[in-house]
Structure 1
């Protein structure tokens, strides 16, 4: 069973990868490994953002539904 993805830690890890790759001190093999890990972290972060957006949409729709006021009869 995999651990739950931590979005904030994912961003921190991505920043570290970017800094390491921008330094120019990595070998080609290390650069490829960092790039691969960065792609995976990016996918996980994007997935977490999509899930959060869906939850916000769902909660907003529920809130709009429960806050609707009935029409007054004439």
Structure 2
């Protein structure tokens, strides 16, 4: 998914997505080439659902994102 594709279902701005990414609260993008990054659709869907269900609890979201990152790199 492109950044625009991620913004729409999540309801987040580009700035907010990158800020959450830095804090470990949103899945990291995958760098395809120097000027192109994409997000896996399934990771974005799960992250959006958990963010909405967590009701402001960053711990649950952070745990989920860390597990997704670990699974991706394994």
After TM superposition, the score normalised by the length of structure 1 is 0.30
Higher strand share: 2
Higher relative contact order by CA 8 Å / sep ≥ 6: 1 or 2? 1
Structure showing greater radius of gyration is: 1
Which has more helix, going by share of residues? 1
* TM-score normalised by L of structure 2: 0.30
